[in-house]
Amino acid sequence: MTNVVRPRLPEGARVYAIGDIHGCADLLEDTFARIDADRARSAAVQAVEVYLGDLIDRGPATRRVIDMLIERAGRRKIVCLKGNHEELAIRFLGSPRCFSEWSGLGGRETLISYGLVPVARQPDEMVALANAFGAALPPAHRNFLVGLPTFYSCGDFFFVHAGVKPGVPLERQRETDLLWIRQEFLDWDAPFEKMIVHGHTPVREPDFRENRINIDTGAYATGMLTCLRIEGDTLRLV
């Protein structure tokens, strides 16, 4: 009989992985409380919170979410990953013509959270709106968005927003795939180099597969922001 080796974190390490927040500050606040309560019950030598990207857009409170994460980083060890929505927001600042694409994917709500009126039909209006967005972004928020990494690796786990391209070593993955890939990754049943923990594609409940774990439970639409605790080879929802 073949012994199945379960992926595991290094001894003494613990990761709290959090799915796509999408501007839902109230759900994030509740998640902070759940993590803090869990930490109080059982100490870990090294605990890190990994937020899997798509922190912004769709929900009503992107600005507050970023404030909360920046403040959290001053008290806890956290890693916030870049998602495709963060990429679009950054791109809009330099390429205003992408406004229609970003707006249709929830950028409208982000602009409103910064006190802007998200209406722009002509190129000059898009430029003006991009400039206004740049002016409305506090420097700390701009630095936060620009500085987001695309993945986090710990032990036998690889944390990323969308997924990875099958057949390509993890160290050679393209940013486009890490942020945007969908069906090619989701349909892949063979093992990856590490267990992939991701979001990007909403599911009704956390989806545990042999080679990947999807914890994007569509917070902005369902009111459910999933937090997965990993310690050793044990997985538990918090």
Confidence grade of residue 4 (pLDDT, cut at 50, 70, 90): low
From residue 56, alpha-carbon distances to 44, 82, 166, 174, 189 in Å are 29, 10, 27, 22, 30
Torsion, CA 216, CA 218, CA 220, CA 222, rounded to 10: -130
* Extended beta strands in 58-139, E state: 78-80
Helices (H), 107-173: 108-113, 123-136, 139-146
Nearest Cα residue to 225 out of 57, 21, 87, 48: 21
> What pLDDT shows up at residue 5?
77
Locate 117 and state its tokens: 């009126």
In the CATH hierarchy, which fold is given to the domain comprising 14-237? Purple Acid Phosphatase; chain A, domain 2 (3.60.21)
Measured in residues, the chain has a length of 238
Q: Report domain extents, the chain.
A: 14-237
Query: Residues 124-145: pLDDT tens digits?
Result: 999 999 999 999 999 999 999 9
From residue 20, alpha-carbon distances to 5, 34, 85 in Å are 29, 16, 10
| DSSP annotation of 232 | T
pTM, entire model:
0.95
Sign of CA dihedral 39, 76, 161, 221: positive
Query: Residues 149-185: pLDDT tens digits?
Result: 999 999 999 999 999 999 999 999 999 999 999 999 9
- Mode of pairing for the β-strands spanning 13-18 and 227-231: antiparallel
User: At which residue do the structure tokens 């929505």 appear?
Assistant: 85
